Amino acid sequence: MALPVSLDEAKRQLRVIGDDENDTIADFIKDAAGWVEEYTGHLLEPREVRERFSSFERLQLRHWPISNETVIVTVSGTVLADARLLSAVRPARLLPAADAAWPRLNGGDVVEVTYIAGYSTPADVPRNFVRAMLVLIGGYDADREGGEVFQAAEETAKRLCRTKKAWVA
């Protein structure tokens, strides 16, 4: 799977013609993708995610979009048979199966949820995320020490991504 910003797109954004900076620009792309994913909880490529919870009270999944309705819930390594995924709105939530209840947890038990999240193709990624990545890539290049230029780029990226950010409690 590929990220939504290619090396060629990043080079156009930076107005770079040669190949001398390809490795550095490729790192900028990865860093920008990581920033967008961390800030929004949206994964730009599909991958397996594991989240751990100390109780069943709020099983709200941080990452989005849920790529596959198959969710595996385990308690201290034991797979639970049934769970309902409510993924129409964000954050996606897990509930026990209809007419069922979550098991009682013993001290120290951990609830682990495993699922696949991420956009299926680069074309599925919201355009604001791509724009935020390009702004961040420009900021990384212009201000390699992370000063004021990068801070301005980061603020712009936050504005571009804010409407898609999930505010998970």
Tell me if 159 is assigned to some domain.
yes
pLDDT at 1: 66
Q: Can you give the residue range of the structural domain that contains 148?
A: 7-43+122-164
Distances (CA, A) of 160 to 48, 115, 128: 26, 27, 6
Residues 106 and 139 in one domain: no
Tell me if 169 is assigned to some domain.
no
Evaluate the CA torsion angle 60, 62, 65, 67 in order and state its sign: negative
Structure tokens at 103: 């098991």
Tell me if 112 is assigned to some domain.
yes
Number of compact structural domains in the chain:
2
For 6-56, the pLDDT digits (tens) are 999 999 999 999 999 999 999 999 999 999 999 999 999 999 999 999 999
The model's pTM is 0.88
CA distance 12 to 152: 20
For 107-133, the pLDDT digits (tens) are 889 999 999 999 999 999 999 999 999
pLDDT at 146: 65
Helix crossing, 148-161 with 127-142: angle to 10°? Answer: 180
